[in-house]
Amino acid sequence: MLSLFQKTNSTVANLLKSNLQSTIRGQKKRWVYLFQDIEEAENLYNGDWDKVRLLLGGKGANLAKMYKIGITVPPGYTITTECCNEFLKLGGKFPQGMWDQSNEALRVVEKMTGKKLGDPNYPLLVACRSGAYKSMPGMMDTVLNIGLNDKTAEGLCKISGDPRFVYDSYRRLVQGFGAIVLGLDDEEYEHPLAQYKKKYGFKYDNELQAENWIELTRQFQQITKNISGIEFPQDPIKQYEMSIKAVFNSWNVPRAIQYRKQTGIPDHLGTAVNIVTMVFGNMGEVDSGTGVAFTRNPSNGNKEIFGEFLFNAQGEDVVAGIRNTLPISALNDQLPGCYKQFIQECTKLENYYKEMQDVEFTIEKGKLYFLQTRDAKRTAFARFKTMVDMVEEGLIDKKTAIKRISPSDVDMMLHPQFDPNVLKKAKKQGKLFGKGVAASPGAAVGRVYFNADKCEEMSKDGPVIMCRPFTKPDDVNGMFASKGLFTAEGGATSHAAVVARQFGTPCVVGTGLVIDDEEGVATNGKITIREGDWVSVNGTTGEIFKAKIDTIDVKLEDQKDLLKILGWCDEFCAQKGTRNIKNGPNRGLMVWANADTAEDALRARKYGAQGIGLCRTEHQFLGDRAKYLRTFIMSEDKDDKKKALDKLRELQTKDFEELFIAMTDLPVIIRLLDPPLHEFLPDLLELTREVYELRGKGQKDEEKETLLKQAEQMHESNPMLGLRGVRLVIIKRELVEMQATAIIQGAINAKKKGYNPDPEIMIPLVGHINELKELQPEIDEIAKKLLKKNNTKIDYKIGTMIEIPRACLVSGELTKYAEFFSFGTNDLTQMTFGYSRDDAEGGFLLKYVEDGILPCNPFQSVDQIGVGRLIKMCVDEGRESKPQMDIGVCGEHGGDPKSIKFFSDAGLSYVSCSSLRVPVARLSACQAILD
């Protein structure tokens, strides 16, 4: 039997370690750590595991750790990431001392295994593996079988008695060396191999015999020389040295740099190199093999070892899927001792790491080696299941479980998904129609229609997808009726995106498709879709398909593990220090929701919202009701105006009553009318086209002519900075009375029915204290009078939205008239940056983010340096003059995890986001306060 190395014993290891240390003592810097030296690295950083990983890379650190806890790993050592950095700094030279230390470590491994690199009698074979702090697909990975040459191959044949195995290994070295160290295209080898197999009638690699591999090894060496001009080195030390250098150099290949840029991994980390003794799973059909396994089920999270195994195979064969793998239990039948050991060691690993592991292992002639372990990737579902289970098993505490959940895990649990197989098929069949900004996640499928009313109408007959050049408040009825939507224009915070997220409707914007909504046709230049065609919208990836792709639905109430964890999150938030909120002083960031209707609010409440942070009253002026608002705005007749206003008051009172009933016992912030009035009129440009074309024809449509005149009158060159928010209600003062009355009367009605309303009235777009001074007393008086008239008491608050930079600069003043603040971070970001989000997100902002001029889209994640500074100033100065006031966020950022962390640190009381983001926000709010 081939004994690849003698049994490691700690005396030998310690002796050898001392030798290495004495070598190092004479030198300035330690570049090499044997796996058994892990404690020294740990001591260096006082046990900070993260720093050890930074030094040794993830793979090296874990191999050493396994060694330390008594798991069998092949002997080996790690050359540090510091060495990589120094090597690169020196322009491709090993730093002083490294080569000596590396040779010393090699000597130790040789002694441990009883073999020697390049010794024809007892040749040591090693693998050279890269291993950065974080796994990086952009880099070279592994050179296997270093140490083989014509002579050691012969020697190995003698020892193993298996020349087929030896020469297969040898040609793998030649191929790997050429591809990875010398940078040749792997196809340069694979193509001749395929031709060879064809020529001799072989189908699978394992049909080739020793003589075939010997011939191919020679052929591969010739290919290497022909193409690279470099002879494959027969000197194993040369192989070893060149492989290490190649791994170091791979840190700076363009692909790796690009990958780091995309993923935000810093350039200065460097990669480590792991030199690991080769073990072979392909040394027999009975007692050798290789496998990968998860310590729990990665699909459903069940507590059962889940893995695949192949007898007489090497690691890559399992992954390649060439042969059918066996379930891990098959091992029990054939090698029950190995299986038992494997199960024990898996448990040991899980207990040690306190996390589900994903391991690679090899059995060489009945001996089990672990080659790698790492925290296991799993589905979101499995993530929640394993975390809850581990807490219940006592393996981890709740805090740890929460920290390990990512916001996207929560997201995944809430949105319907496409069936992955059907999706794959659709892509293969070329059904991909368009791609844009993934604006609201989830999968939706239905027949496509191109205008709101049609969508609403057709939705009665089956699921509908809405397709528009862009959307306006006028389109909301259609958006509401549709299962999904996509637009040609707009960015992640365009009207379509914001409303879709609020409704939880999957949405893709900014696809750049050519959409003719009048003709009912859209095209990407190749494929065309027409009214009534089936399309599928993937709001998670931003893809649109001209196909009907099946979806898999999810229900929140069924997700018991998710609900359990969110419950824990709420508990932690409630335990944390003092905040200025109304429902008790001892809790963390609360999560409220943005909701405009009772239906919306009920869903938000189901998702765990503890209040409504923003009810946009303008959404109540849409559809049939738009005509009343138009009359109020436009009519010259005082009587008509008044009637319209009376009608609106009546309708809004009912709306608010329902909202207060839905949210009984919880606060509801209602914002006064905010958007510019022209949004309630048809688009000016479109009207101009219609009217002037008609005029050209010598015709006049009186109604359109009138509307055009009105739209022209309302036209502003920069509506975002125009007559809206508080400015609008100051000019159209009757709106204040109408809305304040509707809100308070709605609350009174709800109370009369036995509910407990908690109304808060919010004045938007305030920039100067006098704007509040103008309105607050008026609203207050209306409220007081109404309550007195109804002989009832309801606590109400009047506050302001903070969305103008100036408001942040004078927040101390504003508290004189505002009982609460709520940041509108969309507008605040627009004005602080001077970006019109609708224009920018499809335009220069896209380029800015792509080119790295901006670290991220500030409309997605709050700009902490600029906008954040204003927010902090506002909170600090607001609280200085009114310490107990509620301060929240009701902009888009309220649902963004990174922003939530910032808001929590800034001392806000709550974040308010669309209902569907509430679960994510509950997680993020908790994570923000966990140490």
- The set of catalytic residues is 495, 890
Strands 886-889 and 820-823: parallel
Q: What angle do CA 438, 602, 610 make, to 5 degrees?
A: 85
Pick between residue 443 and residue 874 the one whose CB is nearest to a second copy.
Answer: 874
Which backbone phi and psi does 550 adopt, to 5 degrees? -65, 145
836 binds a second copy (CB under 8 A): yes
Exactly one of 274, 386, 832, 857 binds a second copy (CB under 8 A); that residue is 832
Pick between residue 339 and residue 835 the one whose CB is nearest to a second copy.
Answer: 835
Exactly one of 866, 898, 905, 907 binds a second copy (CB under 8 A); that residue is 866
Rounded CA gap, 276 and 116, in Å?
13
Exactly one of 704, 727, 797, 898 binds a second copy (CB under 8 A); that residue is 727
Rounded CA gap, 615 and 657, in Å?
13
Rounded CA gap, 178 and 185, in Å?
8
731 binds a second copy (CB under 8 A): yes
Query: Residue 667: beta bridge partners?
Result: 758
Strands 590-594 and 797-802: unpaired
816 binds a second copy (CB under 8 A): no
200 binds a second copy (CB under 8 A): no
Rounded CA gap, 153 and 168, in Å?
10
Cβ neighbours of residue 507 closer than 8 Å, sequence gap 6 or more? 439, 440, 484, 485, 486, 496, 497, 500, 501, 537, 539
Is there a contact between 738 and 786 (Cβ–Cβ < 8 Å)?
A: no
867 binds a second copy (CB under 8 A): yes
Mask: binding to a second copy, 262-291, rule CB under 8 A, as x and -?
Answer: ------------------------------
735 binds a second copy (CB under 8 A): no
869 binds a second copy (CB under 8 A): yes
Exactly one of 609, 870, 889, 906 binds a second copy (CB under 8 A); that residue is 870
**Could you give the C-alpha distances from 6 to 12, 288, 839, 926, in angstroms and in order?**
11, 18, 70, 51
Rounded CA gap, 173 and 167, in Å?
10
Tokens 């009587």 sit at which residue? 639
Exactly one of 100, 215, 838, 905 binds a second copy (CB under 8 A); that residue is 838
Q: Name the minimum Å distance from CB 819 to a second copy.
A: 21
Q: Name the minimum Å distance from CB 353 to a second copy.
A: 40
853 binds a second copy (CB under 8 A): yes
Exactly one of 830, 860, 904, 915 binds a second copy (CB under 8 A); that residue is 830
Which two structure tokens, joined as six digits, stand for 421? 């197989």
Q: Of the listed pieces 264-272, 332-340, 748-756, 837-845, which binds a second copy according to CB under 8 A? A: 837-845
Which backbone phi and psi does 652 adopt, to 5 degrees? -65, -35
Q: Name the minimum Å distance from CB 844 to a second copy.
A: 5
User: What DSSP assignment string belongs to 67-95?
Assistant: HHTT-----EEEE-HHHHHHHHHTTS-PP
Distance, first Cα to last Cα, the chain: 54
Cβ neighbours of residue 125 closer than 8 Å, sequence gap 6 or more? 145, 146, 147, 148, 152, 156, 169, 277, 278
Q: Of the listed pieces 110-118, 128-136, 654-662, 680-688, which binds a second copy according to CB under 8 A? A: 680-688
692 binds a second copy (CB under 8 A): yes
874 binds a second copy (CB under 8 A): no
Q: Of the listed pieces 162-170, 449-457, 472-480, 835-843, which binds a second copy according to CB under 8 A? A: 835-843
Exactly one of 479, 496, 804, 906 binds a second copy (CB under 8 A); that residue is 804
Pick between residue 267 and residue 640 the one whose CB is nearest to a second copy.
Answer: 267
Q: How many CB atoms lie within 10 A of CB 656?
A: 27
Residue 392 CB burial class (10 angstroms; 0-12, 13-18, ≥19): exposed
843 binds a second copy (CB under 8 A): yes
Q: How many CB atoms lie within 10 A of CB 435?
A: 17
Q: Name the minimum Å distance from CB 697 to a second copy.
A: 4
Rounded CA gap, 130 and 81, in Å?
10
Q: Name the minimum Å distance from CB 237 to a second copy.
A: 46
Exactly one of 806, 816, 881, 884 binds a second copy (CB under 8 A); that residue is 806
Q: Name the minimum Å distance from CB 500 to a second copy.
A: 19
Q: Of the listed pieces 423-431, 648-656, 658-666, 841-849, which binds a second copy according to CB under 8 A? A: 841-849
Amino acid in the structure at residue 876: D
Pick between residue 289 and residue 767 the one whose CB is nearest to a second copy.
Answer: 767
Tokens 């070329």 sit at which residue? 430
Size of the site for a second copy (CB under 8 A): 60
Which residue, 774, 779, 771, 773, is CA-closest to 742?
779
Which two structure tokens, joined as six digits, stand for 186? 């792997």
Is there a contact between 815 and 881 (Cβ–Cβ < 8 Å)?
A: yes
Exactly one of 530, 709, 789, 847 binds a second copy (CB under 8 A); that residue is 847
Exactly one of 696, 703, 754, 793 binds a second copy (CB under 8 A); that residue is 696
705 binds a second copy (CB under 8 A): no
695 binds a second copy (CB under 8 A): yes
3-state SS class at 326: strand
Q: Where are the beta strands (DSSP E) in 525-620?
A: 528-530, 534-538, 543-545, 551-552, 590-594, 612-616
Q: Name the minimum Å distance from CB 517 to a second copy.
A: 15
Exactly one of 408, 770, 792, 881 binds a second copy (CB under 8 A); that residue is 770
716 binds a second copy (CB under 8 A): yes
Exactly one of 330, 694, 856, 930 binds a second copy (CB under 8 A); that residue is 694
Which residue, 845, 843, 817, 816, is CA-closest to 829?
845
Exactly one of 790, 833, 856, 930 binds a second copy (CB under 8 A); that residue is 833
- Which letter does DSSP use for residue 819 in this model? S
Exactly one of 697, 703, 791, 883 binds a second copy (CB under 8 A); that residue is 697
Helix or strand run (H / E) with residue 580: none
Tokens 């926000």 sit at which residue? 921
Which two structure tokens, joined as six digits, stand for 283? 């040394």
864 binds a second copy (CB under 8 A): no
261 binds a second copy (CB under 8 A): no
Pick between residue 554 and residue 730 the one whose CB is nearest to a second copy.
Answer: 730
Pick between residue 202 and residue 848 the one whose CB is nearest to a second copy.
Answer: 848
Cβ neighbours of residue 673 closer than 8 Å, sequence gap 6 or more? 617, 618, 621, 728, 729, 735, 739
Rounded CA gap, 124 and 111, in Å?
10
Pick between residue 230 and residue 723 the one whose CB is nearest to a second copy.
Answer: 723
Our measurement of the distance from residue 810's CA atom to the centroid of its chain's CA atoms, rounded to an integer in Å, reads 37
Q: Name the minimum Å distance from CB 847 to a second copy.
A: 7
Q: Name the minimum Å distance from CB 850 to a second copy.
A: 12
Is there a contact between 533 and 539 (Cβ–Cβ < 8 Å)?
A: no
Exactly one of 730, 755, 797, 907 binds a second copy (CB under 8 A); that residue is 730
518 binds a second copy (CB under 8 A): no
863 binds a second copy (CB under 8 A): yes
Pick between residue 200 and residue 844 the one whose CB is nearest to a second copy.
Answer: 844
Which residue, 470, 434, 466, is CA-closest to 450?
466
515 binds a second copy (CB under 8 A): no
40 binds a second copy (CB under 8 A): no
Exactly one of 6, 329, 586, 688 binds a second copy (CB under 8 A); that residue is 688
Exactly one of 366, 463, 469, 722 binds a second copy (CB under 8 A); that residue is 722
Which positions touch a second copy (CB under 8 A)?
684-685, 688-690, 692-698, 716-723, 727, 730-731, 765, 767-768, 770-771, 774, 803-806, 809-810, 827, 830-836, 838-840, 843-844, 847-848, 851-854, 863, 865-867, 869-870
